[in-house]
Amino acid sequence: MTDGITREKQLLQTFATLADTLVEGYDVVDLLQLLVDSCKDLLDTTAAAILLADPSGELDVVASTSEASRLVELIQLGAEAGPCVESFRTGKVISVPDIRLAPDRWSGFRDGATVQGFASVHAIPMRLRENRIGTLNLLRETTGELDPQDQLTAQAFADVATIGILHERTLRESTLLTEQLERALGSRVVIEQAKGVVAHTRGVGVEEAFDRIRTYARSHRLGISQVASQIVDRSLSLPD
């Protein structure tokens, strides 16, 4: 995490970038990936992830900063229990300053997160009034509560993500939200496939494979979903 004026400048730049992203035809997955990356880079957190609900209310991991954070989220989804799932269900912020002391009903999450090296978690609902669409989750290697200023910033990020997904709803038919969520979840499937392709063809780990995809997308000003799709259909081969 950065401090002082530099950190404030980076936060302003991030919000400016997010504002530029909120245009017609934007890629939801790219927006959410930018948010989790910004959380990791600018806040006192080790990793970040976003869970998004499909039209039936089922959660899935749509963006994450590491395989470790993604795995922890998948453990919660498999068990249908954990602070991030609880945050979505209740619409409330759920903070666990010491994961080792998490209740037994979250034992799967507790054990999985501990194995992955995480010691605390802060789950923030993505909601607009009563409309809940997912959660932004911050995982840390140290115990303790999240810094209050970082909490406010993370909440602002979550609010931006929510607005980013819902803002066109007033301009189109009510089916827009369903289409966006389905497209975001579908894009994530392609990204996972692309990670597997790169990992296999380049002989690297899945996390490094994702870093290569993300780096290529940024350097070529392309969406991650677009790059992943080209990798899967073999029209693109990432350079060594």
**Do 31 and 95 fall within a single domain?**
yes
**Do 146 and 226 fall within a single domain?**
no
| 125-169 pLDDT, tens digit each | 998 877 788 999 999 999 999 999 898 888 888 888 787 777 645
Alpha-carbon distance of 9 to 183, in angstroms, equals 33
Q: What value does the mean pLDDT take over residues 108-112?
A: 91
Position 183 in a domain? no
Q: What is the pLDDT of residue 94?
A: 93
Q: Is the pTM of this model over 0.75?
A: no
Confirm if 70 and 33 have CB atoms less than 8 A apart: no
**Do 71 and 134 fall within a single domain?**
yes
Question: Per the structure, how many domains does the chain have?
Answer: 2
Query: Would the pLDDT of 170 be above 60?
Result: no
Position 182 in a domain? no
Position 135 in a domain? yes
CATH number at residue 141: 3.30.450.40
